[in-house]
C-alpha cells in the first residue's frame, strides 16, 4: 500500500501563479483573437491613466497597432506622459504576477490585482517567444530594456538593460510588444471601440489610436482638471470575513491588544464601539464565545475571529466612508456624451454612495443619451440601443450577457418611459460602477457579478435618468400633436373664410382668411411657448 501511495505522488509538483495563468490565459481575457488584442490595449491604457492620475498629470496617451504579417501577428505600442517606472520597480510591475501598488490598497483604482501588464508580457512571450521592449523616463534617468516573465518562478526576466542620463527630465513610459493569436477588426469589441469608450468616461484624457490601416483617430480632452485622488481608507468591519480579521490580527505586530487593533485597523471603530463589543463577547451572549480584548492580536484564534464577525453584525455601525470612491462626475459625463455622441437629449444621474456585502462602499453613475449619434449602428446602418458599461471608468466590452449592468438595464420597463421597443431605439445607456472592490466575475475584469445591492442601485439610477427622458419625449409628442392639429385646421381655413363671407353677405374672403390664420398661429405658438416655460 505504501508503494502505491508513493507512486501516486511521484508527479506531485509545485507551480507558480504565472504557470497557472499560462495554462488558463482565458481567465485574464486572452480568449479569442479579437478579445485578446483589445485586452492588451485595455491593460496598458488603464495602467497609463492610473499612473498619470497618481502623478497629478493630465494623461496624453498614444496607441499604435501594426500588423506584422497575415498570420495574425501584431505589434502594439503604448506611449504615455506619466511619471515613468523607476528601475527598482520596473521588472515587478511588468514581469511578475500579483505585484503592484493596487491589490493591497483600500482605495478605488481601475486595476485591482496587479496582473494585467505582466499578463500582457506573458502573452507576448507564449505567442511569439519575445519579451516586450520598454523605455521608462523618470526624474533624471532613462531606462531601456526588454522584459519577460520567468514562468516557473513568477519573476521578471530583464535583458538588454541600458540606463542613461535624462537631462531634459522628460517623463513617461513606452511599451512595445509583439503578439500572436490576435486579430484586428472594427467591431463593437475592437480596440477602436475601447478607445472611444475610454474617451467617453475620462474627459481629462487625450488619447489617440493608429490602426493597422494607418488611420489615426484622436479624442481630445474636454476637461483640463486632473480628477482628485480617492483617499485610501481603512476597511469597514461589516465588509470582512473571518479569515480577513484573523489574518490582519496575526500580521499586526504594533497594537498592544485586540482593543487597540480594532480601533487602529478599521474605520468607524471607536472606544465606545469596542466597549459595546466587549459587552457582547463577555460570555453572556448566547452563541458568542468570550474574547479577552487585552490579549495581543497575533494570539487571536479562529473561533475568536468568528465571534467577532458575528458581534459586528449585531452592532449598529455608521456607514463606511466614501472618500475612497471617486465618481466621474455629472458635468464631465454630460460634456463627454455631448462631445462624442452629439445627442438630442442627455440625462445624467449620480446616486449617493451605498454599500454591498454589508460594508464595501460603491457608487453608481448613469446617463441616457437619445438621438443624434446615440445608439449602435449595424453594418447595414440600422439603429439599435447601446449599453455602455464601466467599472471605475474603465470600459467593459466583453461578457455582456453575464454582467449585472446589462441585466439591470434590460430589466427596466422601458415602455413606461415612452420607449416602445428599447432594442430599436437610438439610445445609449451609460453606467459606471465605482468601488474599492468591484465585484468582477473573473480576473478578466469584463463583467460584474450579481450582487443584489449593486444590481438594484444600477436599476434605480437608470430609471431616474429614464424619467427625465420620458418628460422630454412627452414634450416632443405633445408638440407633434399640436402641429398635426394646427395643420389640420389650416387646411380648412380658406374654405371657411369663403363660407363665412357668403353667410354674412359682407366682407372679403382674403381678409377673413388672414385673420383666421393669424388667430390659429397665435394660439398654437402661445400654447407651445407656455409649455416650454
- Write out pLDDT tens, residues 211-239: 999 999 999 998 898 888 777 778 888 87
Cβ pair 300, 246 in contact under 8 A: yes
Least confidently predicted of 185-194, 308-317, 481-490, 512-521 = 481-490
State the average pLDDT for the chain: 85
The three cell numbers of residue 173 are 513610459
**Residue 80's beta-bridge partner residues?**
173
Three-state SS for 135-149 is: EEEECCEEEEEEEEE
> Which residue matches cell numbers 469597514?
236
pLDDT above 90 for 459: yes
- Greater pLDDT, 486 or 364: 364
User: Rounded mean pLDDT of 273-292?
Assistant: 90
pLDDT above 70 for 461: yes
- Greater pLDDT, 440 or 478: 440
- Greater pLDDT, 413 or 25: 413
pLDDT above 80 for 441: yes
- Write out pLDDT tens, residues 181-216: 999 988 888 999 999 999 989 999 999 999 999 999
pLDDT above 80 for 110: no
pLDDT above 80 for 107: no
Least confidently predicted of 4-8, 274-278, 388-392, 525-529 = 525-529
| Closest of 95, 171, 86, 170 to residue 133, by C-alpha | 95
DSSP-assigned letter for residue 28: G
Length of the chain (residues):
533
| Closest of 264, 307, 261 to residue 284, by C-alpha | 307
Residue 390: how many CA atoms within 13 Å on its side-chain side? 30
> Which residue matches cell numbers 481575457?
29
Cβ pair 305, 277 in contact under 8 A: no
Alpha carbon distance 230, 350 (integer Å)? 17
Residue 526's pLDDT band, with cuts at 50, 70 and 90, is: low
pLDDT above 60 for 1: no
| pTM score, whole prediction | 0.74
Going through 166-253 in order, the beta strands assigned E by DSSP cover 172-179, 206-210, 216-219
> Which residue matches cell numbers 449595424?
378
> What contacts 477, CB < 8 A, 6 or more positions away?
418
pLDDT above 50 for 156: yes
Query: Which pLDDT score, from 0 to 100, does residue 100 have?
Result: 52
> Which residue matches cell numbers 497618481?
54
The secondary structure of 309-340 as a DSSP string is HHHHTTS-PPPPP-TT-----HHHHHHHHHHH
Query: Which pLDDT score, from 0 to 100, does residue 59 have?
Result: 96
Query: Which pLDDT score, from 0 to 100, does residue 114 have?
Result: 47
> What contacts 155, CB < 8 A, 6 or more positions away?
91, 95, 96, 149
Going from the N-terminus, what domains does the chain have, and what CATH number goes with each?
17-219 (3.30.565.10), 237-312 (1.10.8.50), 330-468 (3.30.230.10), 473-532 (no CATH)
User: Rounded mean pLDDT of 343-351?
Assistant: 93
- Write out pLDDT tens, residues 292-346: 999 999 999 999 999 999 999 899 988 777 778 888 989 989 988 998 899 999 9
- Write out pLDDT tens, residues 66-80: 999 777 899 999 999
Least confidently predicted of 22-36, 391-405, 472-486, 501-515 = 472-486
The three cell numbers of residue 415 are 415602455
pLDDT above 80 for 409: yes
User: Rounded mean pLDDT of 367-394?
Assistant: 89
DSSP-assigned letter for residue 76: E
pLDDT above 80 for 527: no
Amino acid at each position: 500500500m505504501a508503494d502505491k501511495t508513493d507512486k501516486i505522488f511521484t508527479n506531485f509538483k509545485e507551480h507558480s501563479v504565472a504557470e497557472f495563468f499560462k495554462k488558463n490565459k482565458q481567465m485574464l481575457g486572452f480568449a479569442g483573437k479579437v478579445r485578446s488584442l483589445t485586452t492588451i490595449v485595455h491593460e496598458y491604457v488603464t495602467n497609463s491613466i492610473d499612473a498619470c492620475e497618481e502623478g497629478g498629470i493630465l494623461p496624453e496617451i498614444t496607441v499604435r497597432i501594426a500588423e506584422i504579417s497575415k498570420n495574425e501577428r501584431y505589434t502594439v505600442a503604448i506611449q504615455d506622459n506619466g511619471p515613468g517606472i523607476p528601475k527598482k520597480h520596473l521588472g515587478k510591475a511588468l514581469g511578475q504576477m500579483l505585484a503592484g501598488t493596487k491589490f493591497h490598497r483600500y482605495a478605488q483604482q481601475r486595476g485591482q490585482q496587479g496582473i494585467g501588464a505582466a499578463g500582457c508580457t506573458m502573452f507576448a512571450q507564449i505567442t511569439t517567444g519575445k519579451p516586450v521592449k520598454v523605455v521608462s523616463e523618470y526624474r533624471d534617468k532613462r531606462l531601456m530594456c526588454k522584459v519577460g516573465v520567468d514562468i516557473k518562478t513568477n519573476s521578471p526576466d530583464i535583458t538588454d538593460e541600458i540606463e542613461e542620463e535624462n537631462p531634459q527630465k522628460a517623463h513617461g513610459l513606452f511599451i512595445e510588444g509583439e503578439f500572436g493569436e490576435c486579430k484586428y477588426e472594427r467591431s463593437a469589441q475592437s480596440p477602436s471601440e475601447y478607445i472611444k469608450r475610454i474617451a467617453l468616461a475620462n474627459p481629462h484624457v487625450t488619447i489617440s489610436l493608429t490602426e493597422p490601416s494607418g488611420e489615426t483617430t484622436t479624442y481630445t480632452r474636454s476637461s483640463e482638471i486632473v480628477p482628485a485622488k480617492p483617499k485610501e481608507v481603512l476597511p469597514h468591519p461589516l465588509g470582512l470575513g473571518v479569515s480577513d480579521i484573523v489574518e490582519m490580527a496575526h500580521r499586526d505586530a504594533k497594537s498592544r491588544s485586540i482593543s487597540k487593533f480594532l480601533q487602529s485597523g478599521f474605520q468607524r471603530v471607536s472606544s465606545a464601539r469596542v466597549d459595546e463589543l466587549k459587552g457582547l463577547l463577555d460570555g453572556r451572549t448566547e452563541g458568542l464565545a468570550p474574547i479577552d480584548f487585552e490579549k495581543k492580536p497575533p494570539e487571536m484564534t479562529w473561533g475568536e475571529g468568528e465571534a467577532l464577525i458575528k458581534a459586528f453584525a449585531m452592532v449598529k455601525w455608521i456607514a463606511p466612508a466614501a472618500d475612497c470612491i471617486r465618481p466621474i462626475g455629472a458635468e464631465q459625463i454630460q460634456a463627454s456624451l455631448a462631445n462624442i455622441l452629439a445627442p438630442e437629449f442627455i440625462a445624467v444621474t449620480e446616486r449617493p454612495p451605498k454599500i454591498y456585502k454589508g460594508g464595501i462602499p460603491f457608487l453608481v453613475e448613469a446617463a441616457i443619451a437619445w438621438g443624434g449619434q446615440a445608439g449602435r449602428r449595424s453594418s447595414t446602418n440600422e439603429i439599435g440601443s447601446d449599453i455602455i458599461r464601466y467599472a471605475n471608468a474603465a470600459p467593459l466590452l466583453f461578457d455582456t450577457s453575464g454582467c449585472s449592468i446589462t441585466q439591470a438595464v434590460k430589466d427596466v420597463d422601458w415602455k413606461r418611459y415612452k420607449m416602445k421597443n428599447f432594442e430599436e431605439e437610438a439610445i445609449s445607456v451609460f453606467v459606471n460602477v465605482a468601488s474599492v472592490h468591484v465585484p468582477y466575475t473573473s480576473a478578466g475584469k469584463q463583467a460584474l457579478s450579481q450582487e443584489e445591492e449593486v444590481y438594484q442601485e444600477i436599476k434605480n439610477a437608470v430609471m431616474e435618468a429614464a424619467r427625465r427622458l420620458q418628460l422630454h419625449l412627452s414634450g416632443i409628442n405633445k408638440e407633434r400633436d399640436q402641429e398635426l392639429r394646427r395643420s389640420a385646421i389650416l387646411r380648412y381655413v380658406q374654405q371657411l373664410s369663403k363660407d363665412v363671407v357668403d353667410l354674412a353677405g359682407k366682407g372679403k374672403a382674403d381678409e377673413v382668411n388672414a385673420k383666421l390664420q393669424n388667430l390659429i398661429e397665435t394660439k398654437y405658438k402661445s400654447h407651445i411657448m407656455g409649455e416650454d416655460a
